[in-house]
Structure 1
């Protein structure tokens, strides 16, 4: 099985989190081929040069070769590249698993947090682009923790 890992990759924390998750994914099954874009030095060595077409062609090719796309949805917004990769996967009916760990989603039954939604600029929850989330959910699901994320990947491996 070929898996494409979509995640933000420009802050050191993003790179380390991606490495951590991909290590866990690779431990699920040694025969699994995981494409982690940050490992592709030909287009992602930021000290070198790759133009937009080179990046788009290389990553799109890998998405299209994939049997499963997994995506980290965390951040101020869903990373633009991740959203693009999700769109390509959706268009080709490639299953998608999204990981969304933002802690602001906790307390969905807290009446004070819910009431604050009526007060301008007091939203206690985080917003994700619903179009992108909808593409993920139409071809898969979104989970809130690494354990469920890995379990869903394992399920896909066993299909």
Structure 2
């Protein structure tokens, strides 16, 4: 099974997170191949140059040959490239596991938090684009932690 791992890759924190999570996925089963774009030096070694077409061609080739997409949705807004990858995967009916670990999603039953949503400028919950979430849910699932992500991947093995 081939998995395309979609997340930002420009900040050190993202690259380190990606390495740790992809290592967990790879250790699940020797039959899992994971494409992690940051490992593709032809397009992501920023000391070199790859134009937008080369980047799109390389990543599209890998995404379109994948059986499953894991898309990290965290950040102030999800990474633009991840949103594009979700759209392409949805259009090609490739299943998607969205991973959204933002701590602000907790406490959805707290009456004070629920009341605050009605006040201008007060939203104690994180927002994520509903259209993109809808695309994921129509052809996959959204989970809120790495263990749940691994459990969902197991269902596809």
Aligned counterparts of 1:119 and 1:91: Cα–Cα separation in 2: 38
Aligned counterparts of 1:131 and 1:45: Cα–Cα separation in 2: 32
Aligned counterparts of 1:96 and 1:149: Cα–Cα separation in 2: 11
State the match for 2:105 in structure 1: 105
Cα deviations by residue, 1:35-62 (Å, 9 ceiling, x for unpaired):
0000000000011101000001110111
TM-score (norm 2): 0.99
State the match for 1:130 in structure 2: 130
State the match for 1:10 in structure 2: 10
CA RMSD between the two structures: 0.6
TM-score (norm 1): 0.97
Aligned counterparts of 1:118 and 1:34: Cα–Cα separation in 2: 43
List gaps (5 residues or longer) in structure 1: none
State the match for 1:28 in structure 2: 28
Cα deviations by residue, 1:6-36 (Å, 9 ceiling, x for unpaired):
0111110000000000000000111211100
List gaps (5 residues or longer) in structure 2: none
Cα deviations by residue, 1:62-88 (Å, 9 ceiling, x for unpaired):
110000000100001010000000111
